Amino acid sequence: MTRTTRPTHPVVADDTPGSLAALAAPAPEHVADDVLVEVGLADRMAPCPSPLGTLWIAWNGRGVAEVELATDGAEALARHEERSGRRTIPGDALPAHLADAVARRLAGERRVRIPLDLRGRTEFEIAVWTKALEIPRGEVRPYGWIAAEIGRPRAVRAVGTALGHNPVPLIVPCHRVVRTDGSIGQYSLGGPGNKRTILAAEGLDPDALEDAARRGARLSGSTTTHIVCWPTCRHARRTQDRYRIAFRSLREAAAAGYRPCKVCRPTALEAAA
């Protein structure tokens, strides 16, 4: 047979195919971590600049899991690990698509899709945060509005608690939810000062809002359309001053012949009250 006349070579001799095993090059170290992050069994956390300071954003293949304001990344990472129960791997920066989406969301684009990893959160919390996502940049709504909109009109306090536990502030704009009495209220991302800063950056005047609420101007109507809105609703804001009328409550507005705006739906406060 010709086979017997073939030259033999020690590298691939019949009895030592083990030499081929030497071709089993190990995978680069990051591959295992990449797999675990992609399936959501580990997270990565990286810094991201923002007007409030450096945000530390944790994410995995399912979505963004946490946004935290911190000067010390190692501490932010340790806290996230503790809260999430997942090993968290430090990263240099967000993946390009995520960084771009976050930047656009922070700039006010609502249509940017940012997947979130909200495993372990309650249905109620997720309902509250999803509703908060509907509030446009430059506008605010009271806690009671969210409570009424998600069909839990009496759960105003629980709404406040859920917003306080929002793991992804700025991405879910809990800063656009204010107290039912019209005052700006608390904020989880570094306190109420930051809440005012962000609202101001979004084009609102928090002091003027609180002043108006204290004077009893809780809703804003237009004498030409006879429609009543939340004061920061885009339809209320484009009403000229001379046609603007303030109401203390929806009942007062209704008595004057005004109907609630279909966009900002101020009916909810009445239900919450």
Partner 1 sequence: MDDTELAHRLARDLDGTFETLVRAHVDRCHAIALRLTGNPHDAEEIAQDALVRAYRALCTYEPERIRELRVRPWLATIVLNLCRNRARTRTLPSTPLDPLVEAGREPRADAASDPAGEALRTADRERLAAHLAALPERYRIPVVLRHVDDLSYAELSAVLGRPEGTLKAQVHRGLALLRVAMAGTEREELSA
Neighbouring-strand partners of residue 229: 220
CB of 123 to partner 1, least distance (A): 21
Among 5, 14, 240, 257, binds partner 1 (CB under 8 A): 14
166, 129 in Cβ contact below 8 A? yes
Asked if 1 touches partner 1 (CB under 8 A), the answer is no
- Among 48, 174, 229, 261, the one annotated catalytic: 174
- The residue (of 36 and 65) whose beta carbon lies closer to partner 1 is 36
Asked if 120 touches partner 1 (CB under 8 A), the answer is no
CB of 68 to partner 1, least distance (A): 24
Nearest-angstrom CA–CA distance, 182 and 112: 29
Nearest-angstrom CA–CA distance, 120 and 234: 35
Q: Could you say which DSSP state residue 241 is in?
A: G
144, 163 in Cβ contact below 8 A? no
Q: Is 174 a catalytic residue?
A: yes
Nearest-angstrom CA–CA distance, 186 and 273: 20
- The residue (of 25 and 241) whose beta carbon lies closer to partner 1 is 25
Please report, for residues 8, 43, 82, 176, the alpha-carbon distance to residue 153 in angstroms, rounded to integers and kept in the order given.
84, 36, 33, 19
Of 200, 150, 208, 148, whose CA–CA distance to 182 is shortest?
208
Among 13, 78, 255, 256, binds partner 1 (CB under 8 A): 13
Among 4, 5, 9, 71, binds partner 1 (CB under 8 A): 9
Among 5, 6, 111, 151, binds partner 1 (CB under 8 A): 6
CB of 101 to partner 1, least distance (A): 21
Nearest-angstrom CA–CA distance, 148 and 141: 11
- The residue (of 28 and 151) whose beta carbon lies closer to partner 1 is 28
What is the tally of helices (H) and strands (E) in the chain?
Answer: 13, 10
Residues in region 16-35 near partner 1 by CB under 8 A: 17-28, 31-32, 34-35
Binding mask 32-71 for partner 1 (x = CB under 8 A): x-xxx-xx-xx------------------x----------
Q: For the chain, where are the E strands, in sequence order?
A: 42-50, 53-60, 63-69, 87-90, 141-142, 177-178, 219-222, 227-229, 244-247, 259-260
Stretch in the footprint of partner 1 (CB under 8 A) among 2-10, 157-165, 198-206, 244-252: 2-10
Asked if 95 touches partner 1 (CB under 8 A), the answer is no
Asked if 97 touches partner 1 (CB under 8 A), the answer is no
Asked if 7 touches partner 1 (CB under 8 A), the answer is yes
Residues recognised as catalytic: 174
> Where along the sequence are the contacts to partner 1 (CB under 8 A)?
3, 6-9, 11-14, 17-28, 31-32, 34-36, 38-39, 41-42, 61
